[in-house]
Amino acid sequence: MKTLATLFPAVTMLFLFACKDKEAAVSNATADKDPVVATEQAKAPQYGGAAKGDSLFFFLERTPCFGTCKAYRISVYRSGYARYEGRSNVEKEGLHEARIGADTLALLLNEAEAIGFFGLKDSYDAPVTDLPSTIVRIVADGKDKRVLARVGTPAPFKAYVEQVERLLLPVAWKPLKAED
C-alpha cells in the first residue's frame, strides 16, 4: 500500500507533463504541416539586410548631366521610411521624407524579381561623356544587388525604373529642415 501511495503521485505528474508536451508537439506539427501557414511564412520577403534594425531596402539614383537631366536620390528602408534628395532639374529640391506602404515595398521587390534584377550585370556602361546614370540597389532576402545603368541598358530595367518613378516620385514628400 505504501508503494502505491508513492507511485500514484509520480505517475500523475508524469502523465500531466507528457500530455502538456504532446499538446505542444501536436500544435507545432499542425502549424508546420498547415500549407497556408507554411506558404505564408515562405512567401514573406525580408526587406533590407539581416540586422534587426531598420536598414536600406531600395535605392534609386539618377545622376546629373550637362543638360536638363533630372538628378535625385531615393532611399527606402525596411520600415517604410523613405528619404528623397532632389539635386537638380526636379520639382522638389533638397531633402524630403515620407512613409512608403508595405504594398509598395512588395511591388518594388516583386517587379524587380520579375525582370530578373538579381541576375543583371552590375554595370551597363561605356567610355562616353555627358550621359546620366541610373543606379538601383535592392537589399532583400539575403541578396544585395546594385546595378549602374548608363549605356546598353536592357529594356526591362528601363521599364522597371520608369515604374518605380511612377510609384515613388508622386509620394507626399515632406521637406526636412537643414538640421535633420
Q: Which residue has the higher pLDDT, 16 or 128?
A: 128
Report the CATH fold assignment for 56-175: Mago nashi protein (3.30.1560)
Q: What is the pTM of this model?
A: 0.73
How far is residue 150's CA from residue 178's CA, in Å, rounded to a whole number? 32
- For 12-62, the pLDDT digits (tens) are 444 444 444 444 444 444 444 555 444 444 556 778 776 667 899 999 999
Find how far residue 66's CA is from the centre of its chain.
Answer: 33
Q: How is 135-147 classified by DSSP, letter by letter?
A: EEEEEETTEEEEE
Q: Could you tell me the three cell numbers for 69?
A: 537631366
* Helix pair angle (35-43, 2-33), 10° resolution: 60
How far is residue 84's CA from residue 98's CA, in Å, rounded to a whole number? 8
- For 68-117, the pLDDT digits (tens) are 999 999 999 999 999 999 999 999 999 999 999 999 999 999 999 999 99
Q: Do residues 48 and 54 lie in contact, with contact meaning Cβ atoms separated by under 8 Å?
A: yes
Domain boundaries of the chain, sorted by first residue? 2-43, 56-175
